[in-house]
Structure formats: C-alpha cells, structure tokens
Amino acid sequence: METEYKYICECGDCSYKSNHLGNFKNHQSNKHDYSREWNLCKECNLRFTNYQALISHTSKYHASPEELQRRKNLRSARNKRYRDSH
C-alpha cells in the first residue's frame, strides 16, 4: 500500500515528500533556490516552480481556482444584496 503524503515537492525531479508542513518548508528553502520566481499558493503559502504544479496542488488540497473564484463571486453578490436591502 502506498503512503499518502500531504506535501509533495514538485520541483522538477525532486521527489521529496513529507506529512509535516514545517519539514516541507525547510526542505524547500534548503534545497531550492528561493530567489527565483515562484508560483505561490495563496491558501498555504507553498511554492511551486511552475503554474501547472500550483494548479494541481490547489485543486487537490484546496478548492479549484474556478471554485475559489465562484465562491468569491458568490460572496460579493451576497454582500451586495445585503447592502442593497438596508
């Protein structure tokens, strides 16, 4: 049976896996150059070398970007209704 890891480093051919966010972040700052441009996950602040990796992470561990956008729209629509009725 394969172990499910919570955090998987998707930096090219690096295959570091961890269930601890702290360890994972340590790995990323030790092993990978943080001075380059990263695609940052706004939900958990993990960094990805490419946008596709970020998207697959986001849809796996958080809602999909479309879903997040939908919720955001929903929320602002609700706020607007609330404001309008007062």
Binding site for Zn ion (CB under 5 A): 9, 11, 14, 16, 31, 41, 43-44, 46
Please name every residue paired with 2 in a beta bridge, in sequence order, or none if there are none: none
Nearest residue (CB) to Zn ion, 65 versus 80: 65
Nearest residue (CB) to Zn ion, 44 versus 68: 44
Q: Which residues contact 20 (CB under 8 A, 6 or more apart)?
A: 6, 7
Cα distance from N-terminal residue to C-terminal residue, the chain: 57
Least distance between Zn ion and beta carbon 1 (Å)? 24
CA 74 distance to own-chain centroid: 21
Least distance between Zn ion and beta carbon 76 (Å)? 23
